[in-house]
Structure 1
């Protein structure tokens, strides 16, 4: 029970010589409080509601204007046994499970595999759904960037980072910055509420779903790569980490919170370096004309996967036909050898018997 009070000891989170009582000198409207985090929950629910309205009424006309069309998807034939296995056990049965399903349903292996392939394709999201989710994030991130830049660009600490530590920690919290952080927290809370049903897509990919927008998608990828590399590998370490790690020491001595938050920033920078390496690989492939997918993302579960399944099935069929042809040729050659051997044996026996009869007659 004593762990929680010890966790909030002022020696951990505040510079030496500063107490929690000292922060109470600021008016309530100018300092953050722990209970302010509760505002994020209704904001998250509000974002979910606004998103539903956006995806239902605004995204479809935008998708049509960009030429986004849903691909035709065939429907799997009704099969209670296969549907029960697909729903409750696995979407990709093993060879032993396929054998059991063949006996249970009275189907061939190819028919069972084809049923599972078609059934998996039914669960894949449509192009318009993927576009709507990518468009929602695109519009939010664009709005958040504009709002954040507007609220910071005329502040002195945006241009001179030493201003971040003037009168620290007795600094009033402006309402614009307070609501900016609350809205950001509410947005990411809404993503957590929808994480089980969302499709993993990047915002720039919405142009990839439309017909004739390939060049726009490629241009956005180049812009994204340049912005990511400059902001994460140049601006973030030279401005943010330099400010928190070095410039802050001009104002106060190190304490536990100083080390804790700077370690978190270092971990984030390590992730930036890792992601930058993947992006550089993508850029190299892009200029070589071999870029197929975002290496940071999960594989696309769309029509490309369907075509891949079909190709595998055709390859198996071709492999089976090829195997049968080879087996047939081998069998024919063996039969030919056996036939020739029998004919030669009969001729030899016939000649020897004729020679014996002639010898006896003489």
Structure 2
């Protein structure tokens, strides 16, 4: 049965155009082609990324955070209360006033004590600013290194300047060492994000992040198997460009460098628009939809790859709407908002209850500056 499934999965008509078979992509005459077996190495590399990340966050990011004044905020541990804990875990983390009154009677506590208990209990489940700083620092360093590596790998390639060169000689395009390492490291990194997503900071777009990570890995895997490597490297480069600025804005945000954060965020919004809303659909997707049929009849993988790109574009549009809302508030409202995807920490003191506006999920809507909030959203 396993042999049948494998044979079906690697059916030539799905992965390759026309009458080509896998025999056409066998290594010979000095040409080396991408093989699915090459990707096995991404699993141990992903685990190595997790180890490197752990060391980076503690040996580099933590001292950097201390230098910039980013510290852990002291949190009060809540007193155990079976009634309130049951309500918190089974019904709601944000009870209404009527529920608070009822709970205060059951516990023989005042309403103010019940409200304080729920605030502190919610804060216990929220990631600290230091944790967010560490994660943003790690991602920023990787995206910066990846972007620089991508430029080095592509700047002298003809398809970097002329997208029609992407398909010249396809699918018999020999794999370069630079392409191999660019792909392997990017896939390993995204796989490490999938493995660590359960203990990373969770935001409102958690499901969109999951879809994004898996869509990215699926695209990378398919483009590797179908030898769409040239266009794959261009897609990686386009995405890394804005990610550097996003994570940089978050770092400055957590350090409360408000003016610099605001400036970086505006630049990020512009770069995101140019790379993901303009270049990605009108250059990259146009290249994958329009040019290939001029060279060979469309095959199943051709449609699959382009559908996955469209899914990625829809995620970009979703995040672009959030960015536009934040830019609008930044330009015409009360400066930059907190990260609208984050579950932000609440003031535990009673006299701070009215200082913030919260929505039904407890997320702060408006603050007085970029330095007080989450900055932007993740790609």
Q: Same fold (TM over 0.5)?
A: yes
Q: Distance in 1 between matches of 2:146 and 2:349?
A: 37
Contact kept? 1:81, 1:105, Cα under 8 Å: no
Structure 2 CA distance for aligned equivalents of residues 102 and 277 of structure 1? 41
Q: How far apart in 2 are the matches of 1:269 and 1:308?
A: 45
Distance 1:159 1:41, change over 3 A: same
Secondary structure, aligned partner of 1:293 = coil
Specify whether residues 84 and 283 from structure 1 end up closer, same or farther in structure 2 by C-alpha distance, changes over 3 A only.
Answer: closer
In structure 2, the gaps of 5 or more residues are 204-245, 357-379
Match of 1:111 among 89, 110, 113: 113
TM-superposition CA deviations, 1:294-330 (whole Å, max 9, x none)? 67x42442246988983399xxxxxxxxxxxxxxxxx
Aligned length: 310
**CA contact under 8 A between 2:12 and 2:22: conserved in structure 1?**
yes
1:220 aligns with 2:264: yes
Which residue of the other structure, out of 276, 279, 296, is the alignment partner of 1:252? 296
2:80 aligned residue: 79
Deviation at residue 104 of structure 1 after TM alignment: 6.1
Say yes or no: does 1:207 pair with 2:209: no
Alignment of 1:71-220 (within 5 A): 71-76=73-78, 78-79=79-80, 81=82, 85=86, 89=90, 92=93, 102=104, 105-200=107-202, 203=247, 204-211=249-256, 213-220=257-264
1-structure distance, mates of 2:122, 2:325? 31
Question: In 1, Cα distance between the equivalents of 2:82 and 2:16?
Answer: 63
Task: Find the residue that maps to 2:198 and give its secondary structure.
Answer: coil
Measure how far apart 1:49 and its partner are: 0.7
Q: In the superposition, relative to structure 1, how do residues 262 and 126 fare at CA in structure 2: closer, same or farther (>3 Å)?
A: closer
Aligned counterparts of 1:86 and 1:130: Cα–Cα separation in 2: 28
Q: Deviations over 1:219-271 (max 9, x none)?
A: 11011111011112222223212221122223212222212212222332333
Per-residue deviation, 1:272: 2.8
Name the CA distance, whole Å, in 2 between partners of 1:47 and 1:141: 13
**What's the CA shift string for 1:197-217, capped at 9, x where partnerless?**
111476221111114x10111
Q: CA deviation at 1:27?
A: 7.3
Q: Which residue of 1 aligns with 2:60?
A: 58
Any idea what SS the aligned residue of 2:254 has? Answer: coil
Deviation at 1:83, TM superposition (A): 7.8
SS at match of 1:208: helix
Please state whether the residue corresponding to 2:69 is helix, strand or coil.
Answer: coil
TM-score, normalised via structure 2 length: 0.72
Q: Provide the rounded CA distance (Å) in 1 between the counterparts of 2:48 and 2:351.
A: 40
The whole-number CA distance in structure 2 between the counterparts of 1:18 and 1:88 is 57
- Of 251, 268, 271, the residue aligned with 2:312 is 268
CA distance in 1, matches of 2:61, 2:309: 36
Q: Larger radius of gyration, structure 1 or 2?
A: 1
Task: Measure, in 2, the Cα distance between the counterparts of 1:69 and 1:272.
Answer: 33
Paired residue for 2:16? 14
